Amino acid sequence: MTLRALLSWLAFPVYIWQGVRVRMRSLRLPPPRGMVRHEIPGAEPAIRLLVVGDSSAAGVGIETTDGLLAVRLAQCLSNRTGRQVVWRAAGYNSATAGQLRDYVVPNLAPEPWSHIVLAVGTNDAKNFHTTRRFKKEFGGLIYALKAKWPEARIVWSPVVDMALIPALPRALGWLLEIRASLINRTGERLCLERGVVPATRLPILDPQAGFSRDGFHASEAGYRAWAEHLEELVMADEAAPSVSRHD
């Protein structure tokens, strides 16, 4: 066990005390209204985008699914390539890596997704899952996705800096950031070992604009910034579109 991991366990009473207070006072937001799959017209071949994960993939924090991470990213990819983009958001409140592995991926239809974005890890950190548990469950999730969609490009978006989340008191944010760092380090190593692309952390430049009114989930601006952050990495395996120039 690393020193940081040991420190986090020594501070576990702080997690219990402040965590219960935050849970009792936090604003509970429902998933947004609207479609969870659709398409943007364009040239063939189509980009088929699946975003799977926790409440962030579900779009909690916004009113309608027009602002989903999947939608914003689909728009970015459409603008970038001019191609048709078929998208699906498969997000579930409070989902951990193990729950996605056991209950979500097995029940997704085997449609031919070409690009998959995986947004998971926050609840594993928040629930104080050990790195050993996360390694087993997240590693199994990767295997499940690779087995079902062996030709898809899979990108994992790691946990943001939890010390900067407005809803969390400073001590709790500091403590959960230790857990998030451990989760991210384990997740990045597993991605590199198992053929998944780990993204860099989404930078939190303006917490007031980037988070919804619950202070925990992203706002519309936050989901838009997240999509723009992932766009280049998601499409890194595609040739750049040709641009016609006129003198």
Give residue limits of the domains in the chain: 3-234
Q: Which residue has the tokens 């479609």?
A: 35
pLDDT at residue 245, rounded to an integer: 32
Series of mean pLDDT values for 10-residue runs along the chain (247 residues): 61 58 70 96 97 97 96 97 97 96 96 98 94 97 97 97 92 91 97 97 91 93 97 79 36
Second CATH level (architecture) for the domain 3-234: 3-Layer(aba) Sandwich (3.40)
Maximum distance among all Cα pairs of the chain, rounded to whole angstroms: 68
Residues 69 and 117 sit within 8 Å (Cβ to Cβ):
yes
> What is the C-alpha to C-alpha distance for residues 233 and 97, in angstroms, rounded to an integer?
22
pTM of the complete model beyond 0.85: yes
> How many other CB atoms are there within 10 angstroms of residue 188's CB atom?
16
Give residue-wise pLDDT tens across range 3-61: 666 665 555 656 565 555 566 566 678 899 999 999 999 999 999 999 999 999 999 99
CA–centroid distance for 103 within its chain: 17
DSSP 103: I
Coil vs helix vs strand at 117:
strand
Beta strands in 1-104 (DSSP E): 37-40, 43-53, 83-91
